[in-house]
Structure 1
């Protein structure tokens, strides 16, 4: 798989989680890559008011830069 295809796959995974209502709640850099932690609260659900968690490991530098830009943009919106 080419480097771009690997980046595109990781970007789609991040975007899919964000579109599904998850928010990034943490990151950690490891030797293998960047681990992202997501949380989704199930609003209006009578089954489980508990939040749902997900993790994603990003291996490409471009995907890590993409997520860093997402986080930075979100922080800028909160400060404005």
Structure 2
């Protein structure tokens, strides 16, 4: 699979979680990528592993938007 296809899959997973009411609570980065912990209002949490550089930039933008809106 191409790196672009991997990015699209990771972006779609992030978008789906945000649409389901989750917000980013914690990010742990390592040499292979990042683990993004998301939590909804009921306290349920999910962790996504993000491997592609473009998806890492994408969740950074989502985090900045989240901070501006105060979610």
TM-score (norm: length of structure 1): 0.80
Q: What is the CA distance between 1:70 and its match in structure 2?
A: 1.2
Q: Which consecutive unaligned segments of at least 5 residues does structure 2 have? A: none
Root mean square deviation, CA, Å: 1.2
Aligned length: 70
Counterpart of 1:45? none
Larger Rg: 1
Q: CA deviation at 1:28?
A: 1.1
1:22 equivalenced with 2:22 (yes/no):
yes
2:41 counterpart residue number: 41
The TM-score with structure 2 as length reference comes to: 0.89
Tell me, which stretches of 5 or more residues in structure 1 are unaligned?
43-50
The verdict on how the C-alpha distance between 1:38 and 1:32 changes in structure 2, with shifts beyond 3 A counting, is same
